[in-house]
C-alpha cells in the first residue's frame, strides 16, 4: 500500500503544480489585457483631445514656424492637458504597470513630434513654466518618457 500512497501523492502534487501554472498563466494574460486596455483608453482620450484642439494638432504634426506655440497659445490650446497624458503614462511606466513597447507603439510619434517641433519649443515653455512656478520637476515625466522613446526608436 505504501507505493499506491506515494503514487497518489505524486499525482496530487503534479496536478496542484499544473493548476498553479495554469492559474499564473491566465493571471498574466489578464494583467496584460488590462495594461493594453488602459493604454488604449489613454490613446482614445488623446485622439479626442487632438480632434477638439485642431490648431494644437496642426502645430504638433505640421509644426510651421509661422504658427509657433508660444506661451499664450499654450494656455489657449489647453496644452497642459495634452502633456498630462504623457505624465500619466510615465508615472505608470515608472511603476512597471505598462508595457514600454506598447507605449512606444501607441504614443512615441505624438511625443517625439511634439517634443521636437519647432526647434524643441515645448521644452522651452516647460522651462519657463518651471521657473514661474518654482517647480523643477514640472513635466519631468514628459522629458523622461521622451528620452525613453528616443532610446527605443534608436533600437528599431
Q: Residue-wise over 123-144: b if at least 16 C-beta within 10 A, else e?
A: eebbeebeeeeeeeebbebbbe
**pTM, entire model:** 0.76
Mean pLDDT value of segment 130-150: 93
| pLDDT for position 131 | 92
Which is it for the CA torsion 113, 116, 118, 120, positive or negative? positive
1-51 pLDDT, tens digit per residue, is: 578 888 888 888 887 888 778 878 887 887 778 888 989 999 999 999 999
If you average pLDDT over every residue of the chain, what do you get? 86
Q: Residue-wise over 44-71: b if at least 16 C-beta within 10 A, else e?
A: eebeebbeebeebbebbeebeeeeebee
83, three cell numbers:
502633456
Tell me the pLDDT band of 67, cut-offs 50, 70 and 90: low
Amino acid at each position: 500500500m505504501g507505493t499506491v500512497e506515494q503514487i497518489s501523492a505524486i499525482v496530487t502534487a503534479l496536478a496542484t503544480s499544473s493548476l498553479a501554472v495554469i492559474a499564473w498563466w491566465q493571471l498574466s494574460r489578464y494583467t496584460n489585457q488590462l495594461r493594453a486596455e488602459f493604454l488604449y483608453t489613454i490613446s482614445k482620450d488623446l485622439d479626442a483631445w487632438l480632434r477638439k484642439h485642431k490648431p494644437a494638432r496642426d502645430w504638433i504634426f505640421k509644426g510651421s514656424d509661422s504658427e509657433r506655440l508660444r506661451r499664450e497659445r499654450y494656455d489657449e490650446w489647453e496644452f497642459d492637458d495634452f502633456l498630462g497624458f504623457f505624465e500619466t503614462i510615465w508615472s505608470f511606466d515608472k511603476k512597471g504597470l505598462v508595457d514600454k513597447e506598447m507605449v512606444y507603439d501607441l504614443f512615441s510619434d505624438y511625443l517625439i513630434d511634439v517634443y521636437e517641433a519647432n526647434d524643441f519649443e515645448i521644452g522651452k515653455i516647460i522651462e519657463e513654466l518651471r521657473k514661474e512656478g518654482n517647480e523643477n520637476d514640472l513635466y519631468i515625466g514628459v522629458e523622461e518618457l521622451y528620452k525613453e522613446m528616443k532610446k527605443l526608436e534608436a533600437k528599431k
